[in-house]
Amino acid sequence: MIEIMGVVNATPDSFSDGGEHADPASAVAHGRLLVSEGATILDVGGESTRPGAQPVGVEEELRRVLPVVERLAGDGSVVSVDTYRAETAERAVASGARIVNDVSGGLADPRLLRVVAESGAEVVLGHWRGPSADMYASAAYGDVAGDVARELRQRVDAACEAGVDAARIILDPGIGFAKTAEQNWLLLRELDAVIGLGLRVLVGTSRKRFLAGPLGEEASRERRDLATAVTSTLAQRAGAWGVRVHDAGSTRDALAVLDAWDG
């Protein structure tokens, strides 16, 4: 069965649920709900990566994520920390996180890959071409799937050079990051370019803006969750190791139906 990474946004400004779980108690409760609905990994983040988002300081990020990581890991859940900062990664792993999910693939903070190597944690390397505040300025590709695969290969090489075992690396093609809606769809159709690198692949389409194309710009969150469940099942069929979602229940059900269909 594919891994379902449930999103726990301990932030006031995330694009789909900002402020709903900004205090630690609420974030922990939400994480526990996601587990009850089928999430196998919980991804705790303290800074929004939505387009145009502004960064927060490391102390504020730590204040938001460490209590949540510690309590969810204490439950026995597999916890990931969504950060591109080495200090946050190091302290979150010390608090129980087993995965560091870096949307920048180790580009934003040169120390992060070394921290991961020394900690023994797994790492998600995201495809990234710059900070969220101006990511669309870099949405130019000759061959989007080929370019993404090539750039992720470079990040894998950098991680291995820093001492990270390749078996602990997960790749994220960065759907929605420095990519237009058309480029996102093309990348999903040609996901085998990334899967062909031979490492585990995590796909995150959840509630993202490009899903509004076939649904209409005013599509509700619930309709985007349905679209996310569909793209998650297609990602599994394409060979993805995991999917990152806000609504674990709808994705769990869609994957169960796909499994029944396939026998």
Catalytic residues: 208, 244
At 7, which helix (H) or strand (E)?
A: strand 3-9
SS3 126: strand
- 33 closest CA partner among 69, 65, 72, 90: 72
In angstroms, the CA 4 to CA 129 distance is: 26
CA 62 and chain centroid, separation: 18
In our burial notation (b when 16+ CB lie closer than 10 A, e otherwise), range 187-224 reads bbebbebbbebebbbbbbbbbbebbbeeeeeebeeeeb
Single-letter code of the amino acid located at 166: A
In angstroms, the CA 139 to CA 121 distance is: 31
